[in-house]
Structure 1
């Protein structure tokens, strides 16, 4: 008889996990002893064609000299580059992966393999794992992002499709309703500081999505502006988990030179939602306006909820795999889960901690660890600038089209998708370029330059028609670098899951809160369609964003230098009177390929 429970997501407990739990209960040995025992079990269970590839990254030796940091461990069968920092050229500051990758790792990837790198340290099974992850995680979050974007953009499309007249909206009611919606998302994000490290994401996200779906459906029946504002507030409260949880999960499965391309799919889903919403609304308004006594914009909310949001929520329950250390996947094999865990060891990613080891959320030392770290403030400013330079989501382009009397409502909805369509190319250019060239900062600065140029033209406003169209059609450069930004954040925070959860939510909530009140001042509907203040504010944040990228790069390089040994690089500087560390003689041996290996 088939056990039907196996068809539902359940915690995947590997033999070594069970052995570790029993050992803890029976003898409570030291952490180092548990590591030895766990690896011996792994060796036994994984004795197939991939065993050597997996175990090569499993055995570790703690370094007890000046380079001893929690994640700086020597790994067996891993090549170590001995690097003298004397006479280091100034331009090395711009080499983002200087301390992230050693020479062996750099040369072992062909340029055309950047999506599925087959380094000498990897096995064919690892590539198959990436294929599966792209379907289960990257493609699913693409669908989820598309679903959320359709629902969000539908508000603007409904507004220009007679919702304004039907609900008697006037003055700044449009932007005030958007602000109220954002407040709902901000307030209800905060509990995820506690929930993220403790509860499985394959339950958190789908449950929240079901709430989002219900209140999207409810929007079709609104009779008054206040009723709409109430529904949009609750709807966005249920959508609070969507951004941070999805990025938290992706950061637990992908390596730093893989993640930007996958986050790119997430943002492409966002852009596709903008395109889909405009085209759907245009078609629905034309075909269903007045059918069964319902206005066209009401039909859009109905279709969003039943045909788009609901299936996505149900699918998430089955495909979201949790994290490698606490995997709930129905589709990954035990071997692939082991490989994912070894990948995280190789990339120094700590994806999860047992609940019993998590500090209480009110623990003072935990918050001190978050707020007394410059990483929090550097990334916080970075994210605030990213949120507030986004002219693409201001709705200004659609309102400009509506103010132009030569376009009908259907034409306004159809033309409103043009910037988002071009946005696909901008996002792909920046995200894929970042992974291909292993250089996020360049594409972030480039996108900031393009965005500020767009804002400058729109501030001038009285320009010829071609220049104005160019400016509107390049506004999506304001979001093009977002995959690079989120990749940076994931890489900064990969060492401590609890600090990562708190920092992610705090940064995101604070940034979104500024985006709740700044547009209220800068993008007042009464200034439509010129929005001189809005474009000026976006230009200022865009300039800061581009310049702040170099500050982030400085702290990133500083952080990775501390963890260089864990990245396969042994550093010393003869100019400062330093010599190669003592453990080279005691624990390592130099082989014919020019790299050091654990004896």
Structure 2
């Protein structure tokens, strides 16, 4: 193992020295690739897209199914069987995020030391099994317990996948791929609406079980299959993956080194903590992510609004399908545009401003109790708020790209802490007894979208002025040893 690691490090050092001859010490500039390297790059990216991206899409698709199926379960009999009143339902939602936040940061530090090809499929399989067991709950306590366990098991997945994508794709590729990955969760919203509506019509009461139990069993089993497939598909890191060898591996390392990314982790140290905790970016990104999460509340509550407006359960769930399909397409388009034209900040601002216009309508018209046609228009028009998340996380990935540990910690902190506050706030802001008007929730959504735009402007200014940007870690240990030897010889 030590010999193999030394060989990997020597390869990285050689590529780094080559890179330094073509770039400045502070801002590496990618050199032109030879025609042969361009052909190799096409094959490499195609292979990654077919294996890593397709699995990532479906894994996040099932993640969305299993994490966000509570509204669908609520409208398929869970409300009556478990006597879920307003506070009990909202706390069941929040319990997930307690487990999610506790484990996420340590899990994303672990992923720099283990094989993602084992860790990520394993957590998908585990959380899917937990969802199956949720069909057995009979009271609030058991529901809360399994929701916390579901949060624990899902915690490593999203930040782990974002970190892994950043270890393979360049700046010009990462925004689109992150958006495609996140789009899987939006398609899950569409599929969840379809399956919930079908269960309400055909399986509710079958074999003595209400529809919500069938929902958990079916969606959980789908996730188990996808998790097992992942063991055979996804790669580890460029320097040690199973199915990318030879020239493709060398080019995979070279592409990232030319953009200033370290591809071999050296361990969490004080420099990592300094990069993340003593610069303003992590705190601003956490606040931006918090505002973005609060800004998508109307989409999460759409089925309940329709149900409480007098429509039946199957119709309410079916009507969410086209919204989430549109969201998936819009998210990928936003990610592609941010790669194509750069300047992540302006793409976030454009999506937020467009969304804000329709949130103002939802609050201002008829004191929030808007007519159903206007509700449909606004719900469809606010989907760009969902595309902010992958662009912002790509931006976060780029600002903290100086070493793997810094990126991993920054991604995990933003996603975990940024998810915590919104779910406690939503307990009060989106109390289900206030449906269908949800005036307080709509006001919160509108206000936080405006705040998010201001915060993004601050990050943009700080980055442009290069104020307190994270700095590269101390060079890897073998380099220090070599330099010491050279000094002694002199």
Decide: shared fold, TM above 0.5: yes
- Identify if the C-alpha distance between structure 1 residues 411 and 119 changes in structure 2 by more than 3 Å, giving closer, same or farther: farther
In structure 2, stretches of 5+ residues that fail to align are: 471-490
CA positional deviation for 1:560: 10
560 and 19 in structure 1: CA distance in 2 versus 1, 3 angstrom threshold:
farther
SS at match of 1:123: helix
Which residue, 429, 436, 444 being the options, matches 2:333? 429
Asked if residue 343 in structure 1 is aligned to residue 255 in structure 2, the reply is yes
**Cα distance in 1 between the residues matched to 2:137 and 2:349:** 44
Give a deviation string over 1:67-117, Cα, whole Å, max 9, x none: xxxxxx633xx4x79xxxxxxxxxxxxxxxxx7868x87xxxxxxxxxxxx
> TM-score scaled by structure 1?
0.72
Contact in 1 for aligned 2:260/2:401 (Cα 8 Å) = yes
Measured against aligned partners, the alpha-carbon deviations of 1:455-498 in whole angstroms (never above 9, x if no partner) come to: 21111242554332211222322212222111101111111212
How many angstroms apart in 1 are the aligned matches of 2:57 and 2:210? 30
Aligned partner of 1:532 in structure 2 is 439
Contact 1:139 1:265 in 2 (8 A): no
Alpha-carbon distance in structure 2 between the residues aligned to 1:448 and 1:120: 41
Which of 47, 59, 65 lines up with 1:144 in the alignment? Answer: 59
| Structure 1 residues 35 and 312: alpha-carbon distance in aligned structure 2, compared to 1, 3 A threshold | closer
Higher helix fraction: Structure 1 or Structure 2?
A: 2
Contact 1:445 1:547 (8 Å CA) reproduced: no
From 309, 320, 324, the equivalent of 2:234 is 320
**Using the alignment, how far apart are the partners of 1:136 and 1:428 within structure 2?**
18
Greater C-alpha Rg: 1
2:294 maps to: 388
Aligned mate of 1:275, from 181, 186, 190: 190
Map 1:82-161 onto structure 2 (within 5 A). 122-161=37-76
2:181 matched to 1:181? Answer: no
Corresponding residue for 1:74? 20
- Partner residue, 2:410: 503
Which of 330, 333, 353 is matched with 1:449 structurally? 353
Paired position in structure 2 for 1:358: 267
Distance 1:489 1:366 in 2: 15
TM-score, normalised via structure 2 length: 0.88
Closer/same/farther in 2, CA of residues 277 and 119 from structure 1, 3 Å limit: farther
SS of corresponding position for 1:379: helix
8 Å contact from structure 2 (residues 29, 259) kept in 1 = no
State whether residues 219 and 228 of structure 1, in contact with CA within 8 Å, keep that contact through their aligned partners in structure 2: yes
* SS of corresponding position for 2:59: helix
C-alpha distance in 1 between matches for 2:351 and 2:167? 27
8 Å CA contact 1:220, 1:301 repeated in 2:
yes
Asked if 1:398 is matched to 2:303, the reply is: yes
Task: Pick closer, same or farther for the CA change 1:380–1:100 going to 2, 3 Å.
Answer: farther
> Is the CA contact 2:338–2:347 (under 8 Å) kept in the aligned structure 1?
yes
Q: Which residue of 2 aligns with 1:555?
A: 462
Q: Residues of 2 paired with 1:472 and 1:562: CA distance?
A: 38
**Which structure 1 segments of 5+ residues have no match?**
1-12, 24-30, 40-56, 61-72, 82-98, 106-117, 564-599
Kindly tell me: are residues 244 and 22 of structure 1, through their superposed partners in 2, closer, same or farther at Cα, counting changes over 3 Å?
closer
Q: Structure 1's 119 and 510: CA in aligned 2 closer, same or farther, altered over 3 A?
A: farther
CA contact (8 A) 2:57 2:181 kept: yes
Task: Provide closer, same or farther for how the CA distance between residues 22 and 540 of structure 1 changes in structure 2, counting only shifts above 3 A.
Answer: closer
The answer to whether structure 1 residue 163 and structure 2 residue 78 are counterparts is: yes
Q: Tell me how far 1:279 sits from its aligned partner.
A: 0.3
Residue aligning to 1:21: 6
1:412 equivalenced with 2:327 (yes/no): no
**Counterpart in the other structure of 2:117:** 202
1:451 to 1:391, Cα distance in 2 relative to 1, 3 A: farther
Distance in 2 (CA, whole Å) between partners of 1:513 and 1:171 is 20
Of 248, 254, 262 in structure 1, the residue corresponding to residue 163 of structure 2 is 248
Q: Aligned in 2, Cα 1:401/1:19: closer, same or farther, shift over 3 Å?
A: closer
User: How much does 1:210 deviate?
Assistant: 2.4
Structure with the higher fraction of residues in strand conformation: 1
Q: Does 1:477 align with 2:389?
A: no
Select the residue among 538, 544, 563 that pairs with 2:451: 544
Residue 190 of structure 1 aligns to a residue whose secondary structure is: helix
Give 1:58 deviation, angstroms: 5.6
Instruction: Name which of 371, 375, 393 aligns with 2:277.
Output: 371
